[in-house]
Amino acid sequence: MLKLDRVNGKEMNDLTDLEGATLAEVARRGTATTYVIANTFAESPSEYWSGSAGAVYPLVRRLTERGYLEAHAASTGKRQRSDYSITPAGRAALTRWLLDADRAAGMGFDPLRTRLLYLDLVSPTEVATLLTEVAKRSERADAPPIFADRPAALCIHRSWWEARRFWLQLISKKPQK
């Protein structure tokens, strides 16, 4: 069952960035074990991703319970394992997560950067639309933040947005597969 919230009359994706990235990894591979997913995140240069069993195994279990992943019994020699594949509901949730321009335009850990790793899973037209929408939202987000009275914080904020705008321009010019 899909869990969606409605915000301003619009369905919003319910996936965290780690859940979205997990679904994307499974979708890209066709099937994956929890061990493979954990290793993928453990090898990431980002400190944001936790490849620990304590993070990934419960996450995969939640995605399975929500109907986004399906477990298939498999074995290697005498060892039993579960291979996971993405379900149609999982694919729909993944696509919503990938193309969620509002969240991709957010501050903090860069959710756009996470999505860029997996945009080959959607069409070039959808990628172009996402990048256009993120650029629009990024322009609106350049308004003075709540810490405008702190010059150092404001300088960091403005520099971050300027860098992001430049980055979006570069990405938008790159041909999509």
Domain ranges of the chain: 1-98, 107-177
Give the residue ranges of DSSP H helices in 8-123.
Answer: 17-29, 34-42, 53-65, 88-98, 101-104, 111-116
Q: Residue by residue, what is the 3-state secondary structure of 91-160?
A: HHHHHHHHCCHHHHCCCCCCHHHHHHCCHHHCCHHHHHHHHHHHHHHHHHCCCCCCCCCCHHHHHHHHHH
How far apart are alpha carbons 55 and 42 in whole angstroms?
A: 11
Residue tagged 């959808």 (tokens): 126
Q: What's the chain's length in residues?
A: 177
Question: CA distances (Å), 95 to each of 9, 87, 126, 127, in order?
Answer: 19, 12, 10, 11
Count of other CB atoms within 10 angstroms of residue 50: 16
Percent of the chain past pLDDT 90, that is, above it, reads 29
Q: What is the CATH number of domain 1-98?
A: 1.10.10.10
Contacts of 100 (CB under 8 A, 6+ apart): 12, 13
Which residues on neighbouring strands pair with residue 69, listed in sequence order?
86
pLDDT at 77: 79
pLDDT at 7: 38
- Chain segment 5-55, per-residue pLDDT in tens: 443 443 445 788 889 989 999 999 999 999 998 888 777 655 566 667 678
pLDDT band at 143 (very low <50, low <70, confident <90, very high): low
Contacts of 127 (CB under 8 A, 6+ apart): 119, 176
Tell me if 85 sits within 8 A of 69, measured CB to CB: yes
- Chain segment 132-141, per-residue pLDDT in tens: 888 887 776 6
